[in-house]
Amino acid sequence: MTDFNSPPRWATRLLKWYCRSEIFEDLAGDLEECYHENWELYGKKANLIYVIDVFKFIRFYTVKNPKMGSIIHSLRLLSNYSKTSVRNIFRNPLFSSINIFGLAICMSIGLLVIAFLFELSNFDGFHEDKENIYRVISTYQSPRNGTLELATSSVLLGQKMEEQTPGIKSLVILNRTLSGDVKKGNNAVPIRGLYASKSFFDVLSFPLIQGNPKTALQQPNTIVITTTLAKKLFDDEPLGQIVEFNDDKHFEVTGIVEDPPMNSHIKFEALVSLQTLENEAQNEENPRLYRWSSMWDSYVYLKKEVNTSEDQIYSSMQQIADIENKTLQTYTIEVGLQKLSEILPGKNLSNQIGPAFQTSQLYFIIGLTLIILISACFNYTNLSLARSIRRAKEIGVRKVLGAKKGQIFGQFIIEAITIALISLSFSLIFFYLIKPYFLSLDESMSELVKLNTNWNLLPYFLLFAILIGLLAGFMPSILMSRLQTLLVLKDTGKVKLFKQFNFRKTLIVLQFAICIVLIISTIGLYRQYQHAVLFDLGYQTEYVVNVDLQGNDPEILSDAFATLPAVKEVSNSQMIMSTGDVISTRAKYNDPLDSARVEFNAVDEHYLPLHNIELAAGKNFGARDYLKEIPSVIVNAPFLQRFNIGSPNEAIDEIILLDGQKMQIIGVLENLHHSTIFSPIHAFALVHDPTAAKYLNLKIDPTQSMTLMSNLNDVWKKIDPVHTLNAEYFDDRIKSTYEEYAVMMKMVGFLACIAILIAAMGLLGITIYHVETKLREIGIRKTFGASENQLVLHFSRGFLILLFISAILATPASYYFLDSFVISQLTYPASKQYIEFSLGLILIFSLGFLIIFWQIRLAAKRNPVEVLKNE
Amino acid sequence: MQDIRLGAFEEMVLLSIAALLDQAYSVSIRDEIRKVSDRNVKLGMVHSVLNRLEKKGLITSHLAEATKKRGGRRKRYFQITHSGKVALLQTRNQREQLWNTIPDFVFKGLSYDRL
């Protein structure tokens, strides 16, 4: 007989818990006997059998029958507990308000995150058979340019998969290049939409109100429009009518689809059959649409058969990719599958089809919220422990009267939960107050979620409050229930309340450390943001307004704008530099085999003087340079280095090959930051081509900027009544480029404020109670001649040491945070100064000092007679 | 005469208790039944039947000495009561009456060993 083995103890305990005492002994014995028998037969499996048996014995005749009396008894106790909780809340208004207020503020953030998570988890939930829907994604891998993960894939891959891959129920190819104006009669509406292949409605469940989902997108030149667009375009029945698109194409309306819902990551105003694009491509030789390398604009979504595994489809895709990758020389395209449910929130991919939210961002938000919540729970724990001396007698009396440990524990837990539930009702108010700020944090946020509260959320909110109550009340409840009755009743004053003072100190230190980390990070983020926005780009962006041409003729518009008195100069360009936009192509110099990726911008001859762009050598473009046989180009120093062209002066008049076109270098740029401060200066070229213009750049007279926008709008409306004017100050555009930092700064800053508020309230509460217990000592010291200052020094020393410890802990932590999350991403970060550290520390310290000194001084000033005469 | 109807499994348990004399407790009863029937009798079934029989007053039980084997827990031994014996006899009597009414040729050529 092996005596070493004994059945799982928890199962036995469970049995004891539910089983009637008169049956328990022999039943447990029987089970154990069987257990040993099974151990001989099956070995470890006996444990499992034992557990199953314990559960199987839950029967009518074994279970303790709860007597009505005991139910009433426990109900009465429960009501008693909640009554005493409420009384206690009122007896200590200061405590309760600190606790409730602190918890309420933090819980409102918790509620916000819960509502946010709830809404995110419902994303794309409306698609039928959604667990079988996948998106094909690709990874661009090049030894020179690194890797880039994309949400897009190629049309070619989609078509090959449709032909070759078994186990696919339906597959749809989407292309995002559909944008322009839809016209019906005199109604013209600018739209953004998707080209979609015919099985769109088989894969994705966007409800088609009119039209046949099987055939709506089959024929070329057919369009499916959303209800909103239909209302804008038509007064009558839209189905079967012909609409004009971009003045040169005609599409037949074959269906009306409901607007994509808020919780769809695919958004569109119209769908045009992919066949339309394919017909256009037929006229080309080696059409770009069907190239393996054209994986920047198309998406492939598929629905697999239920009994096909993801791996089967993946390996088939892999085979296709392996064959096609042989046609590429300098890079490869890897393919992958992404589940519909993992798209949003999902990993960080470029070329998203619609709104996106990264899982890492989600974790960041949840993490910060948890930190704040824990901080508020610390307050509760800390204050309850500090107060426990007061309540020791109550517990002693209850214990004498027969209360068990569990009951005392229950009472304090219920008290904590009561407080948490009261806080919940307050936090709902805060929730509605901060909701609009959360939604306006970032432009994309309001596109992503609405944060409407509904009854479905209520159970989560309640559960959350109860959890918070448990978390906050656990430590005090445990400690209270362990109090020794005799000791408490004999002399309360002598009760060394556990070793909890160390525990409390740890909590205070942690709380302040959190505050310091948050405040230092906020200041650090603010400095980086300011640095990014005010960064010297090597050219002038001040008082420059960029106007999106939206397809209008640049000459007509620039002539019209030039008549305005506020506009001093006008130039045009293909893109706006330094905002993260990139146009790139390949360039060559003397060696025909050596090509490199070069970013460029096409501008007119006014562009350089308007922006005060300086040249290290050479001259500006002439007005007719783009008509020359060998057009002019201006390059930067990294370009010269890449091709070993030599010094700026030597480079003038050299001939290079840009996008297959011979060009002559006429100038070399001086230190122009053409991209953001996230990336270094690459090889870059300015090309003279006024016909490629997409933007007008207006130099503004700063004295007349007040009425500028409305004037611009008036001019615009005369020329283009369809589109709305899209004009923006260059500096504002740069600011929105670094919006990410502003958002992060606002968020961390807001949380820092809350954390500080909570820590300050906690410190205030603790100090008040500390002082109150020391009143007699202060009185006696005073009568023996201690001065007020000596008293303040003596009693605040302990707290000040705590603050110092938290500073020592927090400084490296915040340094690490700033370094790894912010500074490492920037190629040109703000120089490391320690101003953020010192500023953050000074702020927290002065706040802490203020609270401690205030309270202790208050006590030290009291007349000792008042304190001591009652003894 | 009291009239207590026994279910088939109850009858088996009751018979086992009678057969085991003073060694009848749940595990041994289960083993006994397993021996004669090819059913995989579970402890839980035996337990619930024992509970029912005790309620009906057909058996009584007492706790015996603790044994090491069972984690120091005592066994509950069962004994058949007078009414239990009566119930068994009644059942047997009913069966035999029915058997007796069956003419011999019904089972002609069959014997249990050869089944």
Instruction: Indicate the range of A250-259, A386-395, A842-851 predicted with least confidence.
Output: A386-395
Question: What pLDDT does A340 receive?
Answer: 92
pLDDT, residue A366, reads 92
Record: contact B47-A27, CB cut-off 8 A:
yes
Choose the mutation target among A4, A12, A21, A33 for the interface with B, i.e. most B CBs under 10 Å.
A33
Comparing A397-406, A776-785, B105-114, the range with the smallest average pLDDT is B105-114
The CA-atom distances, in angstroms, between A264 and each of A135, A198, A210, A268, A352 are 14, 20, 21, 10, 13
A805-836 burial string, b = 16+ CB within 10 Å, else e?
Answer: bbbebbbeebbebbeeebeeebebbbeeeeeb
Q: Is the pLDDT of residue A248 over 50?
A: yes
Summarised one tens digit per residue, pLDDT across range A355-378 is 888 888 889 889 989 989 998 898
Report the pLDDT value the prediction gives residue A607, as an integer from 0 to 100. 93
Find, among A228, A239, A233, the residue nearest to A267 by Cα: A228
Nearest CA in chain A to B31: A34
DSSP string, A731-787: HHHHHHHTHHHHHHHHHHHHHHHHHHHHHHHHHHHHHHHHHHHTHHHHHHHHHTT--
From the candidates B70, B74, B78, which should be mutated to test the interface with A, based on the most A CB atoms within 10 A? B70
Residue A30 and residue B25: Cβ atoms within 8 Å?
yes
pLDDT 10s digits, A382-417: 888 877 777 887 888 888 888 888 888 888 898 899
Instruction: Report the alpha-carbon angle A172-A178-A180, nearest 5.
Output: 160
Give the gap in angstroms from C-alpha B26 to the nearest C-alpha of chain A: 7
| A271: pLDDT strictly greater than 50 | yes
CA angle, corner A230, sides to A229 and A232, nearest 5?
65
Question: Per-residue pLDDT averaged across A803-817, rounded?
Answer: 89
AA identity, residue A476: P
The answer to whether A126 and A578 are in contact (CB under 8 A) is no
Mean residue pLDDT of chain A comes to 86
Q: Which of residues 84-113 of B touch A (CB under 8 A)?
A: none
pLDDT of residue A635: 92
The chain A residue lying nearest B78, using CA atoms, is A26
**Partners of residue A33 in chain B, C-beta under 8 Å:** 27, 69-70
Which among B26, B43, B5 has a CA at the least distance from the CA of B77?
Answer: B26
What is the spatial distance between Cα A333 and Cα A11, in angstroms, rounded to a whole number? 55
Distance from CA of B70 to the nearest CA of A (A): 5
Nearest to B76 among A3, A26, A59 (CB): A26
Interface test with B, best of A1, A27, A30, A39 (most B CBs within 10 A): A30
Q: What is the pLDDT of residue A195?
A: 94
Pick the range with the lowest mean pLDDT from A49-58, A561-570, B88-97: A49-58
Query: What does the pLDDT read at residue A301?
Result: 95
> Lowest-confidence range among A164-173, A343-352, A484-493, A684-693?
A484-493
Distance, in Å, from the CA atom of A417 to the CA atom of A474, rounded to the nearest integer, reads 10
Nearest to A305, CA basis, from A151, A111, A170: A170
Percentage of residues of chain A with pLDDT beyond 90: 28
pLDDT at residue A72, as a whole number? 74
Q: What is the pLDDT of residues A110-139, one digit of tens each?
A: 999 999 998 888 889 899 999 999 999 999
DSSP string, A225-290: EEHHHHHHH-SS--TT-EEEETTTEEEEEEEEEPPPPTT-S---SEEEEHHHHHHHHTTSSS-GGG
Determine the residue among A31, A39, A50, A52 to mutate to test chain B binding: the one whose Cβ has the most chain B Cβ atoms within 10 Å. A31
A706 pLDDT band (50/70/90 cuts)?
Answer: confident
The answer on pLDDT for A824 being more than 80 is no
Mean pLDDT of A481-493: 70
In whole angstroms, what separates CA A462 from the centre of its chain? 25
User: Which member of B47, B69, B73 has the closest CB to residue A36?
Assistant: B69
What confidence tens digit (pLDDT) does each residue in A167-195 have?
Answer: 999 999 999 988 888 988 888 888 989 99
Here the tokens at position A128 are: 């039928």
CB within 8 Å: A30 and B44: no
Residues of chain A whose beta carbon is less than 8 angstroms from a beta carbon of chain B are: 1, 3, 6, 25-34, 36, 53, 56-57, 59, 61
First to last CA, chain B: 38
Q: Where are the domains of chain A?
A: 9-56, 130-342, 359-492+501-530+739-868, 544-735
In this complex, the residue of B43, B70, B73 whose CB is nearest that of residue A53 is B43
Q: Specify the CATH number for B8-101; select among 3.30.70.141, 1.10.3720.10, 1.10.260.40, 1.10.10.10.
A: 1.10.10.10
Range A428-434 average pLDDT? 92
**Cα maximum dimension of chain B:** 57
Sorting pLDDT into bands at 50, 70 and 90, what band is A354? Answer: confident
In the predicted model, what is the mean pLDDT of residues A217-242? 91
Q: What is the pLDDT of residue A833?
A: 66
The band of A2, judged by pLDDT with boundaries at 50, 70 and 90, is very low
Chain A residues within an 8 Å CB radius of B27: 30, 33-34
- The answer for B 53-72 residues in CB contact with A (under 8 A) is 63, 67-71
A-chain CB neighbours of B75 within 8 Å are 26, 29-30
Rg over CA atoms, chain A: 36
Alpha-carbon gap: B97 to the closest alpha carbon of chain A (Å): 36
Nearest-angstrom CA–CA distance, B69 and A29: 9
Distance from the B75 Cα atom to the nearest Cα atom in chain A, whole angstroms: 5
Q: What integer is the mean pLDDT of B35-55? A: 86
Which of B51, B63, B69 is opposite residue A33, by nearest beta carbon? B69
Distances (CA, A) of A353 to A48, A176, A344, A509: 50, 7, 11, 46
B11: Cα within 13 Å, side-chain hemisphere: 12
Residue B76 in contact with partner chain A when CB distance is under 8 A: yes
Contact between A30 and B51 using a beta-carbon 8 Å cutoff: no
Q: Which residues contact A203 (CB under 8 A, 6 or more apart)?
A: A133, A170, A171, A172, A301, A302, A303
The residue among A197, A203, A201 whose CA lies nearest residue A129 is: A203
Domain boundaries, chain B: 8-101
Round to whole Å and give the CA distance between A378 and A473.
Answer: 10
**CA atoms within 13 Å, Cβ hemisphere of A658:** 26
Q: Please tell me the predicted confidence (pLDDT) of residue B3.
A: 60
Lowest mean pLDDT among A370-379, A389-398, A456-465, A608-617: A389-398
Share the mean pLDDT of chain B: 85
Which pLDDT score is estimated for A396?
A: 84
Q: What are all long-range contacts of A745-750, with beta carbons under 8 Å and residues at least 24 apart? A: A745/A522, A745/A525, A745/A526, A745/A529, A746/A441, A747/A365, A747/A368, A747/A441, A748/A368, A748/A518, A748/A521, A748/A522, A748/A525, A749/A522, A749/A525, A749/A526, A750/A437
Q: Can you read off the two tokens belonging to residue A648?
A: 């700026």
